[in-house]
Structure 1
Amino acid sequence: MKAILMTGVGNSEVLQVRELPKPKLTGDTELLIKLHAAGINPIDTKIRKRGTFYPEKMPAILGCDGAGVVEGVGINVKNFRVGDEVYFCHGGLGDRQGNYAEYTTIDEQFVTLKPKSISFAEAAAAPLVLITAWEALYERGRLEPGEKVLIHAGAGGVGHVAIQLAKLKGADVCTTVSSQEKANFVRRLGADYPIFYQQTDFVQAALNWTNGEGVDLLFDTVGKDTLQKSFPAVRVYGDVVTILEPGADTVWKAARSRNLRISLELMLTPMLQGLVSAQQHQTEILRQCAKWIDTGELKIHVAHRFPLKDAARAHQMLENGSMMGKVVLIMGNR
């Protein structure tokens, strides 16, 4: 099979096309998946630049997100059959094979049926960002109907699904954007108030929007000093969730004085720590999201599709920033 091998740590040139043996089923409950598409996420570019979580197992195949068709099943597989279309978030951290490849194997408990109404490219773009936004809003942030939430970078990969999940919960959403095009995009997704952060003080805008009280929940997908700057935009006793590691120089005074509850969201934790029940829960999240996608209540935006061989170019585009939605690799001629 063709695969993209991360041959070393460095720039996108370390991603090389290689011909590798097709993986074989090694467990009784495993599936052999013929991959049709793989999502690209910022974690992929970070691993490429910094090294995998398992450096002793280099070279590696990256890519946590995948979508494809079941081509083979283990003798004890109960829930899938050959020909099923599936999607999932699994592998790609340097231990198990990732999805920048034409085939992969995965235990059936970490897979669910792909939404019927969307393409393989859209399905492959979805898992990591859906799980991240779900856990951040519903579990870490405890979002309730009628609450107000500020989502940073609402046009981005995580942000564009977070807006929709917040609206599905019955919340009001304001979100930071950098252009009119992105403002129009997030409004189509349901955002109530796009804030042009380059021209407007987003904290003051959020306070004005909430009659001076502040939002109930801040969801930070940007990191750096954006987290610290955002504390005054959150109501007293409100919630803050960030998907980035706070910097050592973060000043927490405003958060402390407002009694904010700070939560960290890393959806990779179940994979990294081998927490099977937590991985099963994440699969349930994808199962529910598939229902919403098929009823038209949740949409996945794929901004760019690249053939598998152009993985390096896809990484470069993602690293250039200012992306609306997701970037996806397509296998074969699909």
Structure 2
Amino acid sequence: MARVVTFSEYGGPEVLDIKDVDIAAPGPSEVRIRVKAIGLNRAESMWRSGKYVEPVKLPARLGYESAGEVDAVGSEVRHVRVGDAVSTIPSFSLNDYGMYGELVLAPAHAVVKHESFMSFEDATAIWNPLITPYGAFVESGALRPGDAVLIPAGSSSVGIGAIQVAKMVGAVPIALTRTSAKRERLLEEGAAHVVVTDEQDLVEEVLHITGGKGAQIAFDPVGGSTFPKLVAAMAEGGTILVYGALSDEVTPLPMLEVLAKRIVIRGYNLFATTTDPVRQKAATEFIFDGIRKGALKPVVARRFMFDEIREAHRELEKNQHFGRIVVTV
């Protein structure tokens, strides 16, 4: 028996329950992990409220990223063994596995040994925040040295990761944030410029920064009423990578401007990278190498205890944190 987080109906953080559940022995291609830390993603909030990209099979579990020690392995697992320190990469359906628990089963392909210099908390703050921009910018070859890249929700864990990855490849990260409260932190994390969208004109500022050319790339998890401003701030032939839909507003599409500027709008998620063994290995090597060199680093905003999972989700949905929210088990 182990305690795991479940929910039986859609709703706010209050629908989350902690229950005692029998955790089976791992199947041939599974790993059982005794969890030490969990990293929270906005996707899990959307999953809990029934607003994610796939239907939820209720009652449900949730959680993509955890870190801990291997408790048992399936007969076909060779890359990790009992006692290893590991973390999990988002590369599976939450209808099949959930990492919010004291003891969890994970598909072997999602389990990675993490470096000895990393804490369990840090290990839950690197994969989604860094693989997401790695796949979008580096693996795809979309972002080139000198390119200006707009990063809405710059203080989110993926936003910070995007700043770090963009800077690492020699691009010019322009972080967008609603208020000036996080401006200095964003500059400290590597943003070349910060645009405070509630206080400054987004398009005017970006055109000023880029000498009137506009940005080559925008990396947007928000959508909503700001989207036409992103289009207006793009260079001719620029690309907007949409990887989330955090706004509840309708997202207008300024068709004539998209046509006139030949803007490319692409949907993107990290699963194409994380579910392919070769691409996942390249991503993890890039990230571990960046961490060793100090170019990439996990940023933990707040820590909660396992019994505070509802409070952790409430904090997640305030959108006021800087970096990753971590739950210690």
Q: 1:131, CA displacement in angstroms? A: 2.1
Query: Is 1:131–1:267's contact at 8 Å kept on the other side of the alignment?
Result: yes
Q: What aligned pairs does 1:164-203 form with structure 2 within 5 A after superposition?
A: 164-203=164-203
Q: Deviations over 1:295-333 (max 9, x none)?
A: 3221111111111121111111111122211111111xx
Unaligned 5+ runs, structure 2: none
Q: Equivalent residue for 2:11?
A: 10
Preserved CA contact (<8 Å) 1:91 1:98: no
The alignment status of 1:261 with 2:259, answered yes or no, reads no
Counterpart residue number, 2:235: 235
Return the alpha-carbon distance in structure 1 between the equivalents of residues 115 and 95 of structure 2: 28
Structure 1 222/301 Cα, relative in aligned 2: closer, same or farther at 3 Å? Answer: same
Aligned to 1:327: 325
Say which SS state the counterpart of residue 302 (structure 2) adopts.
Answer: strand
Match of 1:305 in 2: 303
1:20 aligns with 2:21: yes
Q: Matched residue of 1:125: which SS?
A: coil
CA distance in 1, matches of 2:304, 2:91: 20
Query: Structure 1: how far apart are the matches of 2:322 and 2:282?
Result: 26
Structure 1 spans left out of the alignment, 5+ residues: none
Name the SS of the counterpart of 1:50 in structure 2.
coil
Partner of 2:209: 209
Partner amino acid for 2:261?
R
Question: Following TM superposition, by how much is the alpha carbon of 1:118 offset from its aligned partner in structure 2, in angstroms?
Answer: 2.7
Are residues 50 and 9 of structure 1, via their aligned partners in 2, closer, same or farther at CA, if it must alter by over 3 Å? same
In 2 relative to 1, CA 194–141 (structure 1 residues): closer, same or farther, beyond 3 Å? farther
The structural deviation recorded for 1:200 is 0.7
RMSD of aligned Cα (Å): 2.3
Residue 251 of structure 1: aligned partner: 254
Q: Write the letter of the residue equivalent to 2:16.
A: L
Q: CA deviation at 1:15?
A: 0.4
CA positional deviation for 1:281: 2.4
CA contact (8 A) 1:87 1:124 kept: yes
Q: Contact 1:241 / 1:262 at 8 angstroms: preserved in 2?
A: yes
Contact 1:63 1:92 in 2 (8 A): no
User: Is the contact between residue 303 and residue 327 of structure 1 (CA under 8 Å) also seen in structure 2?
Assistant: yes
TM-score (norm 2): 0.90
Alpha-carbon separation, structure 2, partners of 1:233 and 1:58: 42
Are the aligned partners of 2:87 and 2:114 in contact in 1 as well (CA < 8 Å)? yes
Residue 135 of structure 1: CA displacement?
Answer: 2.1
Structure 2: how far apart are the matches of 1:183 and 1:117?
30
- What percent identity do the matched residue pairs reach? 28
**Residue in 1 that maps onto 2:294:** 296
Q: Which stretch shifts more, 285-294 or 186-195?
A: 285-294
Matches within 5 A, 1:60-139: 60-90=60-90, 93-139=93-139
- Between stretches 173-182 and 77-86, larger displacement belongs to 173-182
Q: Secondary structure at the match of 2:237?
A: strand
Q: Alpha-carbon deviations, 1:248-272, whole Å to 9, x = none?
A: 643232122101111111235688x
Q: What is the TM-score normalised by the length of structure 1?
A: 0.89
Find the residue that maps to 2:213 and give its secondary structure. Answer: coil
Q: 2:148 aligned with 1:148, yes or no?
A: yes
Code of the aligned partner of 2:254: V
- Asked if 2 retains the 8 angstrom alpha-carbon contact of 1:156 and 1:324, the reply is yes
What SS does structure 2 have at the residue aligned with 1:22?
Answer: coil
One-letter amino acid of the structure 1 residue matched with residue 293 of structure 2: T
Distance 1:61 1:291 in 2: 33
Question: 1:194-247, CA deviations, whole angstroms, 9 ceiling, x for partnerless residues?
Answer: 112111111111101111011111111222122221112111111111113594
Provide Cα deviations, 1:104-162, integer angstroms capped at 9, x if missing partner.
Answer: 22233322222333321121122222222222223457101121211112111210000
8 Å CA contact retained: 1:69, 1:85: yes
Contact conserved, 1:32 with 1:70, CA < 8 A, in 2? yes
1:217–1:238 CA contact under 8 A, matched in 2: yes
Separation in structure 2 between the aligned mates of residue 243 and residue 81 of structure 1, nearest angstrom? 34
